[in-house]
Amino acid sequence: MSVAATHFNYLAVVVLMMIGLYVLFSTRNLIKQMIGLGLFQTSTALFYISLGKVSGGTAAIKIYADSVEGRMLAAPLDPDFVQQFGVGGVVYSNPLPHVLILTAIVVGVATLSVGLSIAVRIREAYGTVEADEIEAVTRVDAARVGRDP
Amino acid sequence: MILFEALYVAPPALTAQAPILVIAGPLIGACAAALSPGGRTAWVVSVLTAVFALWMAVAVAGEVAREGAIDYALGGFAPPMGIALRIDALGATMALLIASVGLMGALYSGHALESEVRAEKRTLFQSGYLVCLAGFLGLVLTGDAFNAFVFLEVSSIGTYALVAVGEARDRRALPAAFNYLIFGTVGATLYVLGVGFLYAATGTLNLADMAPRLAALGDNSAVQAGLAFIVAGLGVKAAMFPLHGWLLGAYAGAPSLVSVFLAATATKAAIYLIIRFVFGVFPEGEFGENFLRWILAPLAAAAVIICSMQAIFEREVRRILAFSSVAQVGFILLGASLATTAGLSAGVFYLVAHALMKGALFMAVGAFAISVRARTVEDFSGIAREAPWSAAAFAVGAASLVGAPLTMGFLAKWSLVSSALQAGEIWIVVVLAIGSLLTLIYVGRILEAMFFRAPVRGAERASEAPVGVLVPLFVFSGLSLWFGVDATLPASLANASASVLMGEAP
Amino acid sequence: MSSGELLILLALALPLFSAAVSYAVGRMPDVRETLMLVACVGLCIITISMFMRVGAGDAPEMVIAQPMPGLEIAFRVEPLGALFAVMASVLWAVNSLFSIGYMRGAREANQTRFYMCFALAMFGVMGVAMAANLFTLFIFYELLTLATYPLVTHKGNEAARRAGRIYLGTLVGASVVLFLPGIIGVASVAGSTTFTPGGLLPGTTSTVIANVLLLLLVFGAAKAALIPLHRWLPEAMVAPAPVSALLHAVAVVKAGVFAILKISAYIFGPELITALPAATWILWLAAATIVISSLVALSKDDLKARLAWSTVGQLAYITSAAMLPFASGLVAGGLHMVVHAVAKITLFMCAGAIYVATGAVKVSEMGGAGRRMPILFTFLFMASLSVIGLPPMGGMWSKFLLVDASFGSGEWLTATAMIVSSLLSVAYFLPVAFNALFAPAGVKGPEFTRPGGAPGTVLTAAGVTAIGCLGLFIAAEFIANYLEPLGAFTLIEVAP
Amino acid sequence: MSEIALQVNFALNIALLLMLIAVGVAIARMRSLLAAILLMGVYSLVSAVWLIVMDAADVAFTEAVVGAGISTIVLLGAILLVRAGPVRHNWRMTIAPAVLVLGVGGLLVYAMTGLPEFGDPASPANAYVGRNYLIQTPDEIGVPNVVTAVLASYRGFDTLGETVVVFAAGIGVALMLGFGPRSSLPPLPAAMGDHHVVLRVTARLLIPLIALFAFYVQFHGDLGAGGGFQAGVILAVAPILHALVFGLHETIAALPVRAVRSIATLGVLLFAGVGVICMINGGGFLDYDHLFPPGVEAIIPPGLLGDPDHAHQWGQHFGIFFIELGVLLTVAATMVTIFYGFAGRAVEEP
Residue boundaries of the structural domains of chain D: 1-116, 144-350
User: Looking at per-residue confidence, does C434 or C452 come out higher?
Assistant: C434
- Which residues of chain A neighbour B193 with C-beta distances below 8 Å? 17, 44, 47
Q: Over the stretch C3-14, which tens digit does the pLDDT of each residue have?
A: 888 888 888 889
**C-beta atoms of B452 and C161 within 8 A:** yes
- Which residues of chain C neighbour B486 with C-beta distances below 8 Å? 65-67
Q: Is the pLDDT of residue D185 over 50?
A: no
Checking ipTM against 0.90, whether it exceeds it is no
pLDDT the model gives residue A28: 87
- Which residues of chain B neighbour D178 with C-beta distances below 8 Å? 124
Contact C243, C147 (CB under 8 A): no
Measured CA to CA, the distance from residue B298 to residue B289 in angstroms comes to 13
Q: Over the stretch C388-404, which tens digit does the pLDDT of each residue have?
A: 888 788 888 888 888 88
Could you tell me the pLDDT band of residue D189, with boundaries at 50, 70 and 90? very low
DSSP C445-471: -PPPSSTTSS-HHHHHHHHHHHHHHHH
- Asked if D268 reaches chain B (Cβ–Cβ under 8 Å), the answer is yes
Q: Is the pLDDT of residue D192 over 70?
A: no
Is A129 within a domain? yes
- Which residues of chain D neighbour B257 with C-beta distances below 8 Å? none
Chain B, nearest residue to A126 by Cα:
B171
Mean pLDDT for A77-106 is: 88
- Which residues of chain D neighbour A71 with C-beta distances below 8 Å? none
pLDDT the model gives residue D330: 95
Selection from C281, C275, C282, C313 nearest residue C297 by Cα: C313
Q: Is the pLDDT of residue D326 over 90?
A: yes
Mean pLDDT for D23-30 is: 91
User: Looking at per-residue confidence, does D312 or A17 come out higher?
Assistant: A17
- Domain residues for the domain of A26 are 3-53+94-147
pLDDT the model gives residue D346: 60
Mean pLDDT for C146-172 is: 85
Is A60 within a domain? no
Could you tell me the pLDDT band of residue A148, with boundaries at 50, 70 and 90? low
Measured CA to CA, the distance from residue C135 to residue C143 in angstroms comes to 12
pLDDT the model gives residue D75: 92
User: Looking at per-residue confidence, does D3 or D269 come out higher?
Assistant: D269
pLDDT the model gives residue A47: 92
Measured CA to CA, the distance from residue C439 to residue C443 in angstroms comes to 6
Q: Is the pLDDT of residue C20 over 50?
A: yes
pLDDT the model gives residue B465: 81
Is B412 within a domain? yes
Is A73 within a domain? no
Could you tell me the pLDDT band of residue A2, with boundaries at 50, 70 and 90? low
Question: Over pLDDT 90: what percentage of chain D?
Answer: 35
Task: Mean pLDDT check: name the lowest of B408-422, C205-219, D335-349.
Answer: D335-349
**C-beta atoms of B437 and C177 within 8 A:** yes
Measured CA to CA, the distance from residue A96 to residue D124 in angstroms comes to 12
pLDDT the model gives residue B366: 87
User: Looking at per-residue confidence, does B353 or D219 come out higher?
Assistant: B353
Burial of B410 (0-12, 13-18, 19+ CB in 10 A): buried
pLDDT the model gives residue B118: 83
pLDDT the model gives residue A149: 44
Mean pLDDT for C18-35 is: 83
Q: How high does pLDDT run on average in chain C?
A: 84
pLDDT the model gives residue B360: 93
C320 CA: distance to closest CA in chain B (Å): 27
Residues 54-83 of B with CB under 8 A from D: 72-77, 80-83
- Asked if B499 reaches chain A (Cβ–Cβ under 8 Å), the answer is no
Q: Is the pLDDT of residue C492 over 50?
A: no
Say how many C-beta atoms besides its own lie within 10 A of residue D213's C-beta: 15
pLDDT the model gives residue C495: 38
- What is the pTM assigned to this prediction? 0.90
- Asked if D15 reaches chain A (Cβ–Cβ under 8 Å), the answer is no
- Which residues of chain D neighbour B80 with C-beta distances below 8 Å? 128-129
Is CATH 1.20.120.1200 the classification given to domain D1-116? yes
Q: Is the pLDDT of residue C461 over 70?
A: yes
CATH number for the domain including A123? 1.10.287.3510
**C-beta atoms of A60 and D146 within 8 A:** yes
- What angle, 0 to 180 degrees and rounded to 10, lies between the N-to-C axes of helices C29-55 and C3-24? 160
pLDDT the model gives residue C37: 87
Q: Is the pLDDT of residue D28 over 70?
A: yes
Residues 134-193 of B with CB under 8 A from D: 134-135, 138, 146-147, 150-151, 153-154, 157-158, 160-162, 164-165
Per the structure, the count of domains in chain A is: 1
Chain D, nearest residue to B77 by Cα:
D154
pLDDT the model gives residue B171: 86
**C-beta atoms of A149 and B372 within 8 A:** no
The dihedral through the CA atoms of C298, C299, C302, C305 has a sign that is: negative
Element (H, E) at C64: strand C61-68
Q: Is the pLDDT of residue D148 over 60?
A: yes
Could you tell me the pLDDT band of residue D42, with boundaries at 50, 70 and 90? very high
Mean pLDDT for C285-303 is: 90
Q: Is the pLDDT of residue C485 over 50?
A: yes
Task: Let me know if chains C and D touch, i.e. at least 3 Cβ pairs under 8 angstroms.
Answer: no
- The DSSP letter of residue C105 is H
Chain B, nearest residue to C157 by Cα:
B453
Element (H, E) at D313: strand D312-313
B76 CA: distance to closest CA in chain A (Å): 18
Is B462 within a domain? yes
Q: Give the 3-state secondary structure percentages of chain D, helix then strand then coil, rounded to 5.
A: 75, 0, 25
Chain D, nearest residue to A120 by Cα:
D82
Contact B255, B317 (CB under 8 A): no
Per the structure, the count of domains in chain B is: 1
Q: Is the pLDDT of residue C493 over 80?
A: no
- Which residues of chain D neighbour B77 with C-beta distances below 8 Å? 140, 153-154
Residues 188-247 of B with CB under 8 A from D: 197, 199-205, 213, 220-226, 228-229
For C324, phi then psi, to 5°, come to -75, 145
Say how many C-beta atoms besides its own lie within 10 A of residue D309's C-beta: 9
Secondary structure of B58-110 in the HEC alphabet?
A: HHHHHHHHHHCCEEEEHHHCCCCCCCEEEECHHHHHHHHHHHHHHHHHHHHHH
The dihedral through the CA atoms of C446, C452, C457, C462 has a sign that is: positive
A68 CA: distance to closest CA in chain B (Å): 31
**C-beta atoms of B157 and A110 within 8 A:** yes
Residues 54-113 of A with CB under 8 A from D: 54-62, 72, 75-76, 81, 84-85, 87-88, 91-103, 105-113
Chain D, nearest residue to A116 by Cα:
D78
- Which residues of chain A neighbour D159 with C-beta distances below 8 Å? 103
Measured CA to CA, the distance from residue D118 to residue B327 in angstroms comes to 44
Is A42 within a domain? yes
Mean pLDDT for C122-134 is: 92
Q: Is the pLDDT of residue C414 over 80?
A: yes
Q: Over the stretch D225-265, which tens digit does the pLDDT of each residue have?
A: 778 899 999 999 999 888 888 888 888 888 898 899 999 99
pLDDT the model gives residue D47: 93
Measured CA to CA, the distance from residue C449 to residue C301 in angstroms comes to 21
Q: Over the stretch C89-123, which tens digit does the pLDDT of each residue have?
A: 999 888 888 888 777 776 777 778 888 888 899 99
Measured CA to CA, the distance from residue B82 to residue B72 in angstroms comes to 10
Q: Which residues of chain B have pLDDT under 70?
A: 1-10, 457-460, 505-506
D215 CA: distance to closest CA in chain B (Å): 25
Mean pLDDT for C70-82 is: 88
- Domain residues for the domain of B373 are 298-506
B241 CA: distance to closest CA in chain D (Å): 16
